[in-house]
């Protein structure tokens, strides 16, 4: 198909119009002799016009004429508006009066920068340098001296119009690409919006699930308190062997259920990203002692030696999350006791690195128990994975504990791991960075060796104020206290507790948290301020009892002025041990 290129000739001299038009259109009627000679020279006699586009009949030009600079600018605008633009303009320089050629090119390029230009002149008012200065360096401008060489002019027109067309194609292609990219970007933006919405919905669902689980776990813990406590008391009575066995089964199932509830609560919180890591000053020694107290009870009935060594270079005071470190060590420790029948469990705390005010601490718990096969050692840190499913029946558990430890460690920027050999025990470790505020380290190594103490079996014999609104819980704690020789007074809420301490001196207050009329925190704060004002005789230790066993709750209890915190359901052994701990501390080793 023939191609038409639109060309504009701008010159005030009519004969130039005729010359150019004649040269550019002549090929359609007669072959230019110069061109034929050149053709023969280049391609030989057999050359044919098809292989030389300069003389091809495929290209023809539609030529328009302008005689002034202003007129040419108008015509270019008109052609663009009609959608039939000029590809090439032959522009004279001097066209008095009015706009000269260089000014006209400038005005045209301001709006249509891709039109090819040929400046034609016999002599110029402008040097080439001046033209470049005016129009800038460009590949769309050529210069042609009059009189014109017909072949050069034809060849120039052909190559410039072809160049213009290629540029138009590339512009169209770029526009098409840009349009496609824009469309795809639009689609992507829509997708991102949809994903965001889905993510928000999923996050909301997880949050609802987490709140539901938190509430349910609280609701389940309260009646569990009754079941576990009453069952413990039942086991203290005279039972036949069969009754005892059944009671023990109740206890085991209840313990497992409780563990499961705590694990699921923690796990769902972590899933919902709700579990926050605290950064508070604490003493490693206190955390370890706390863990050892609990582990000692867990090992009750097993002949295990439980010991601990804190290396001398471990800083006294560090900043981190003691509640979560305690939780990990408790999980390691109770697993160690669970999977060890003879030998012992050793806690070890070492300093790995100390730079500026941060140090890396390694906690490890080694046991002499059943050990874990190599291929299972990594697996067990994943959710719901147990090393040996055949032992689940014997040892119980959910397979969630170590997964929680691993995630907690990650939240604290730490790591967990295990070294173990089947039959030769396991060492579970945790390394975490902790802030060393004081840079003051103790000189001597501290060895804490825990052994089952006879003193623990002795009766307590204290006067206790029990603040609790739930009748079942009251009965449960009373039975424990009575059995151990304590006398007690009951207050049904915080208000009654505040009145009771005015009337009588107590050696200990056991304080529930959630109660009608006045809660445990407010009552504790009131009692502490009465003590500070000298209205009461001395300072009475107050121990919180609550089913909301969260770290936040523990923090609030301490803030209110409570000395200890015991989670519900109340475990008899733990309660007695904690009572001894706080009363000894506060009434001078009684």
- Number of other residues whose CB lies within 10 A of the CB of residue 254: 18
- Within 410-429, the residues that bind ligand ADP by CB under 6 A are 426
**Least distance (Å) from ligand ADP to the CB of residue 420?**
7
**Least distance (Å) from ligand ADP to the CB of residue 380?**
4
**Least distance (Å) from ligand ADP to the CB of residue 228?**
18
- Within 279-338, the residues that bind ligand ADP by CB under 6 A are 331, 335-336
Considering only 48-56, 64-72, 171-179, 380-388, which stretch makes contact with ligand ADP by CB under 6 A? Answer: 380-388
Q: Out of 10, 380, 476, 566, which residue is the one contacting ligand ADP (CB under 6 A)?
A: 380
Sign of CA dihedral 188, 194, 198, 203: positive
Helices 150-235 & 471-483 angle (0-180, nearest 10): 60
**Least distance (Å) from ligand ADP to the CB of residue 430?**
13
Q: Out of 151, 161, 225, 398, which residue is the one contacting ligand ADP (CB under 6 A)?
A: 398
**Least distance (Å) from ligand ADP to the CB of residue 299?**
13
In the complex with ligand ADP, the residue whose CB is nearer, 344 or 369, is 369
421: its two tokens? 């050999």
At which residue do the structure tokens 């004002």 appear? Answer: 533
In the complex with ligand ADP, the residue whose CB is nearer, 163 or 376, is 376
Q: Out of 19, 39, 321, 367, which residue is the one contacting ligand ADP (CB under 6 A)?
A: 367
**Least distance (Å) from ligand ADP to the CB of residue 305?**
16
In the complex with ligand ADP, the residue whose CB is nearer, 259 or 489, is 259
563 binds ligand ADP (CB under 6 A): no
**Least distance (Å) from ligand ADP to the CB of residue 382?**
9
**Least distance (Å) from ligand ADP to the CB of residue 398?**
4
Helix (H) or strand (E) holding 95: none
> What is the DSSP secondary structure assignment for residue 2, as one 8-state letter?
-
- Residue 569, preceding peptide bond in cis (omega within 30° of 0): yes
- Number of other residues whose CB lies within 10 A of the CB of residue 449: 12
In the complex with ligand ADP, the residue whose CB is nearer, 87 or 386, is 386
Considering only 2-10, 138-146, 150-158, 394-402, which stretch makes contact with ligand ADP by CB under 6 A? Answer: 394-402
**Least distance (Å) from ligand ADP to the CB of residue 466?**
34
User: Which residues are within 8 A (CB) of 59 and not within 5 positions of it... i.e. 6 or more apart?
Assistant: 2, 3, 5, 53, 158, 161
In the complex with ligand ADP, the residue whose CB is nearer, 69 or 369, is 369
> What phi and psi values does residue 589 have, to the nearest 5 degrees?
70, 35
387 binds ligand ADP (CB under 6 A): yes
Which of 404, 329, 315, 406 has its CA nearest to residue 361?
Answer: 315
364 binds ligand ADP (CB under 6 A): no
> What 3-state DSSP class applies to 363?
strand
In the complex with ligand ADP, the residue whose CB is nearer, 364 or 540, is 364
* Rounded Cα–Cα distance for residues 472 and 230 (Å): 9
In the complex with ligand ADP, the residue whose CB is nearer, 426 or 431, is 426
At which residue do the structure tokens 């996050």 appear? Answer: 203
Q: Out of 160, 265, 330, 372, which residue is the one contacting ligand ADP (CB under 6 A)?
A: 372
> What is the DSSP secondary structure assignment for residue 88, as one 8-state letter?
E
Considering only 19-27, 211-219, 268-276, 395-403, which stretch makes contact with ligand ADP by CB under 6 A? Answer: 395-403
**Least distance (Å) from ligand ADP to the CB of residue 514?**
29
* Rounded Cα–Cα distance for residues 336 and 339 (Å): 5
**Least distance (Å) from ligand ADP to the CB of residue 263?**
7
In the complex with ligand ADP, the residue whose CB is nearer, 282 or 339, is 339
DSSP result, 466-492? EE-S-HHHHHHHHHHHHHTT-EEEEES
570 binds ligand ADP (CB under 6 A): no
Q: Out of 226, 343, 399, 561, which residue is the one contacting ligand ADP (CB under 6 A)?
A: 399
Q: Mask: binding to ligand ADP, 466-505, rule CB under 6 A, as x and -?
A: ----------------------------------------
**Least distance (Å) from ligand ADP to the CB of residue 367?**
5
Q: Mask: binding to ligand ADP, 336-355, rule CB under 6 A, as x and -?
A: x--x----------------
SS3 assignment for 113-137: CCCEEEEEECCCCCCHHHHHHHHCC
In the complex with ligand ADP, the residue whose CB is nearer, 385 or 518, is 385
* Rounded Cα–Cα distance for residues 375 and 294 (Å): 31
397 binds ligand ADP (CB under 6 A): yes
DSSP result, 152-210? HHHHHHHHHHHHHHHHHHHHHHHHHHHHHHHHHHHHHHHHHHHHHHHHHHHHHHHHHHH
In the complex with ligand ADP, the residue whose CB is nearer, 108 or 306, is 306
In the complex with ligand ADP, the residue whose CB is nearer, 338 or 526, is 338
Sign of CA dihedral 464, 467, 471, 477: negative
Residues in contact with ligand ADP, counted by CB under 6 A, come to a total of: 20
* Rounded Cα–Cα distance for residues 416 and 61 (Å): 81
Q: Contacts for 21-26 with beta carbons within 8 Å, 24 or more apart?
A: 21/63, 23/148, 23/150, 23/153, 23/154, 24/61, 24/63, 24/153, 24/154, 24/157, 25/60, 25/61, 25/63, 26/150
* Rounded Cα–Cα distance for residues 130 and 116 (Å): 19
User: Which residues are within 8 A (CB) of 76 and not within 5 positions of it... i.e. 6 or more apart?
Assistant: 8, 85, 86, 89, 108, 111, 112, 115
**Least distance (Å) from ligand ADP to the CB of residue 329?**
12
**Least distance (Å) from ligand ADP to the CB of residue 479?**
31
Q: Out of 117, 157, 370, 513, which residue is the one contacting ligand ADP (CB under 6 A)?
A: 370
Residue ranges that bind ligand ADP, judged by CB under 6 A: 331, 335-336, 339, 367, 369-370, 372, 380, 386-388, 397-403, 426
């Amino acid at each position: 198909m023939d191609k038409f290129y639109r060309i504009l000739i701008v010159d005030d001299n009519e004969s130039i119009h005729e010359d150019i038009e004649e040269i550019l259109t002549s090929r359609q009627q007669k072959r230019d002799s110069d061109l034929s000679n050149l053709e023969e020279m280049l391609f030989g006699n057999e050359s044919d016009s098809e292989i030389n586009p300069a003389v091809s009949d495929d290209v023809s030009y539609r030529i328009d004429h302008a005689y002034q600079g202003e007129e040419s600018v108008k015509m270019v605008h008109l052609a663009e508006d009609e959608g039939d633009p000029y590809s090439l303009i032959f522009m004279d320089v001097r066209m008095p009066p009015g706009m000269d050629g260089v000014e006209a090119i400038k005005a045209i390029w301001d709006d249509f920068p891709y039109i090819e230009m040929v400046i034609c002149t016999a002599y110029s008012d402008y040097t080439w340098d001046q033209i470049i200065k005016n129009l800038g360096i460009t590949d769309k401008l050529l210069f042609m001296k009059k009189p014109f060489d017909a072949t050069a002019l034809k060849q120039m027109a052909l190559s410039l119009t072809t160049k213009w067309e290629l540029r138009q194609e590339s512009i169209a292609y770029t526009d098409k690409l840009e349009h496609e990219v824009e469309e795809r970007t639009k689609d992507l933006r829509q997708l991102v919006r949809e994903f965001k919405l889905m993510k928000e919905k999923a996050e909301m669902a997880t949050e609802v699930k987490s709140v539901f689980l938190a509430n349910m776990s609280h609701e389940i813990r309260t009646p569990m308190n009754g079941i576990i406590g009453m069952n413990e008391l039942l086991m203290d009575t005279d039972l036949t062997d069969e009754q005892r066995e059944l009671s023990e089964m109740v206890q085991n199932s209840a313990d497992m259920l409780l563990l499961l509830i705590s694990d699921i609560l923690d796990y769902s919180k972590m899933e919902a990203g709700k579990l926050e890591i605290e950064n508070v000053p604490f003493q490693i020694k206190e955390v370890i002692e706390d863990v050892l107290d609990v582990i000692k009870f867990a090992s009750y009935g097993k002949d295990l030696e439980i010991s601990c060594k804190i290396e001398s270079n471990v800083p006294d005071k560090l900043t981190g999350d003691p509640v979560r470190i305690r939780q990990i060590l408790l999980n390691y420790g109770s697993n160690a006791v669970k999977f060890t029948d003879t030998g012992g469990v050793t806690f070890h705390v070492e300093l790995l690195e100390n730079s500026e005010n941060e140090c890396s601490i390694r906690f490890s718990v080694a046991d002499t128990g059943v050990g874990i096969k190599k291929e299972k050692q990594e697996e067990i840190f994943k959710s719901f994975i147990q090393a040996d499913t055949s032992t689940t029946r014997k040892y119980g558990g959910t397979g969630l504990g170590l997964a929680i430890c691993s995630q907690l460690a990650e939240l604290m920027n730490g790591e967990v791991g295990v070294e173990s050999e089947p039959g030769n025990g396991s060492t579970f470790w945790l390394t975490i960075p902790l802030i060393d505020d004081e840079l003051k380290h103790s000189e001597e190594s501290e060895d804490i060796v825990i052994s089952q103490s006879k003193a623990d079996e002795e009766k307590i014999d204290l006067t206790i104020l029990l603040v609790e609104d739930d009748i079942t819980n009251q009965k449960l704690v009373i039975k424990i206290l009575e059995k151990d020789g304590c006398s007690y007074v009951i207050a049904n809420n915080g208000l009654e507790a505040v009145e009771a301490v005015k009337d009588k001196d107590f050696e200990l207050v056991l304080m529930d948290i959630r109660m009608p009329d006045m809660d445990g925190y407010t009552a504790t704060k009131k009692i502490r301020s009465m003590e500070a004002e000298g209205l009461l005789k001395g300072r009475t230790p107050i121990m919180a009892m609550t089913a909301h066993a969260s770290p936040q709750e523990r923090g609030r209890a301490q803030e209110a002025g409570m000395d200890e915190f015991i989670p519900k359901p109340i475990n008899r052994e733990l309660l007695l041990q904690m009572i001894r701990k706080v009363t000894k501390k506060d009434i001078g080793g009684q």
